[in-house]
Amino acid sequence: MTFAALACGCAPAADDAAPEAVGVVTAGLGGDVSVLLSNAAGQSRRFAAAAELRTVASACSAAAIAPAGATAESPAYAITAGHCVVDWSTAAAASRPTLDAAVDPMSVVFHRFVDTQDRAQAVAVRRVLFATMKGTDLAVLELDATLGDLAALDVAPFPLASRVAAGAAVRLAGVPTGGFDEAELHLRLSEGRLLAPAAVLEGRWLWPVTLPFRAPSIVPGISGAPVLDTSGRVLGVVSTTTQGAEGSGCGVGEPCEVTAAGATLRPDRSYASPVVGLGRCFDGRGRFALGGACGLDDGFGVFAEEAPAPRPLPPRLGGAPRPWGVVLSGDAPEVRAKVGPLGTTDCRRLEGYGPPVARDAFGYTTAAVPQADGAYVLCLLGTDGGRVQRWPTAIPLTVDGTPPTEAPRYEVRPEADGVEVELFFAPPELAAYRVRSGPAASTSCDAMDSAPLYRFFPLWIPREALPGRVCVAAEDAAGNLGATLAIAVPAPAP
């Protein structure tokens, strides 16, 4: 059995209309950079619903949407990425949705075109009706306006798409906060193409279905921007990207695609959270409502208030097997659980879950993590009689007990009054270094597990301390210590 609620937004209904042909229809796009949009003559009016989202803590992009059945008197709504409006740094943010919450000052700003800056219109956000990073990265905002008010501002909200197809041409419209000169930080448009749907792991977040795509200029501020089909319907909102990723460890800013073979960072790929099916979360008058046919998380279940850190961890802690350390909260009195390999365990499927146990007797606080190296996921389902949690809580964990085998990377640079030695990182294998340096006769390479950590600044051995020695042991992202390398630093020739 698969949870039907999770199909919403990820797979089209069987009776949806077939997608029309797609193609590149916007002149000047398809290159290596997004283009600024002008609208003085109304030529880009169809993108006026793409907006800047301003919050107390950050700035993202957003899009006004038009649910089916809405009228001029219906509330106006915008969608964006969940991480734009929630505190994503906590374990709870990865397992609990935010529902119908008051907001600190927050607004969406329409008409951010480069040539009509004096016409920009800010509309306040009244409530965060839904926001999550659990299973997807999505937020629904109620604006302090009606659709009629938006029409008076010459903003025509985007309709929601009912189908999505791999290979389709797409456009993205958003307002960057970086990546360009300040004079170019206005509404920009880029064009790309969807790839096949993929599961994504980034830090502690596991998203079973995303819409991968390739498009230029996925820079800061573009999170939450609408991903549109060529008819201007919203397929998803921009969530994350590997553009600019510096590592390959599936951490924050390094999203990895998850398959049965493992989790792999794919260069130059970006990912959108799908909104196909979101229309079922609005009633016949265009008003947002959870429950019923809406497939979004309704907030019932169990949530992880504490969970393993979102990085590789060794299987043992203090000489004993490492415990999962999961602490639960929530309104479900019972919980079912299963653990399996990340790439082949689908938390949305009931197969493999154990029987319900009282939440207070939940065993994965003290139970040991798997001892073999690999990526795993702990799946949790809250239950209350016949009621079952709609969106399972998924807790990913990477176990790594193998020391790094890659040799430290370094450069020795002789100077007139000494020698500088610089070390270079390459996470996840070369994530940190333990170092000692000084005169060769008095610098020991023993017990490197207690040596100081390298602090990013080059080591310096003055001329009078030469010949010298630098002792280096690499640590991987899990903290496993590799073999010690002794670097001999000879005295300069007389």
Q: What is the pLDDT of residues 246-287, one digit of tens each?
A: 777 798 999 999 999 999 999 999 999 999 999 999 999 999
Among 65, 34, 55, 63, CA closest to 105: 55
Amino acid 30: pLDDT: 55
pLDDT above 70 for 5: no
Q: Which residue has the higher pLDDT, 131 or 166?
A: 131
Q: What are the tokens at 460?
A: 């310096």
Residues 150 and 75: beta-carbon distance below 8 Å: no
Amino acid 27: pLDDT: 36
Greatest alpha-carbon span in the chain: 88
CB contact set of 415 (below 8 Å; sequence gap of 6+): none
Report the C-alpha gap between 182 and 186 in whole angstroms: 9
Q: What is the pLDDT of residues 482-491, one digit of tens each?
A: 999 999 999 8
Amino acid 148: pLDDT: 97
Q: What is the pLDDT of residues 155-207, one digit of tens each?
A: 999 999 999 988 999 999 999 999 999 999 999 999 999 999 999 999 999 99
Amino acid 340: pLDDT: 97
Q: What average pLDDT is seen over the chain?
A: 91
Q: In degrees, to the nearest 5, what angle opens at C-alpha 281 toward C-alphas 150 and 19? A: 85
